[in-house]
């Protein structure tokens, strides 16, 4: 039997707004955490200055959601890893993309933590 620990989602957000706004990025991360039905432990956001990008990470009991932005390109890279099967990554990504007015989203998903059922040796 094959099982996995969680899903890792990598997303590229294009044609975004608010990418230099620390408060907006923080609100977007909080919205994504709530939409995923995840448990927030801590949240850190760092802006690199007016017109510059923002890096943010939501540390979760289930792992993390992070974002790195390039406002000059209207682009943000998103990384979400949530353990278990009950979390709604689609809703989390939609919340994040919506808060940033993303014009386009491309995503890739990976099942993580594969393990094989123990066998007799």
Q: How far apart are CA 94 and CA 48, in angstroms?
A: 25
The catalytically annotated residue of 5, 64, 66, 83 is 83
The catalytically annotated residue of 16, 63, 69, 87 is 63
- CA dist 106 to 11, 52, 76, Å? 6, 23, 11
63 labelled catalytic: yes
CA-wise closest residue to 54 among 13, 95, 19:
19
Give CA angle at 30 (66, 81), nearest 5°.
Answer: 35
66 labelled catalytic: no
Specify whether the CB–CB gap between 109 and 36 falls below 8 A. Answer: no
64 labelled catalytic: no
CA-wise closest residue to 78 among 49, 107, 104:
107
The catalytically annotated residue of 68, 69, 87, 115 is 68
Residues carrying an active site annotation: 63, 68, 83
């Amino acid at each position: 039997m094959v099982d996995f620990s969680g899903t890792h989602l990598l997303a590229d957000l294009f044609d975004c707004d608010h990418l230099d706004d620390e408060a907006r990025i923080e609100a977007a991360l909080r919205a994504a955490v709530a939409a995923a039905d995840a448990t927030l432990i801590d949240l850190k956001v760092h802006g690199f200055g007016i017109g510059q990008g923002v890096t943010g990470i939501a540390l979760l009991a289930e792992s993390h959601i992070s974002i790195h932005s390039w406002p000059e390109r209207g682009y943000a890279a998103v990384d979400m890893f949530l353990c278990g099967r009950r979390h709604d990554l689609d809703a989390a990504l939609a919340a994040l993309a919506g808060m940033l007015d993303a014009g386009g989203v491309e995503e890739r998903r990976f099942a993580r933590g594969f393990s094989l059922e123990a066998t007799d040796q």
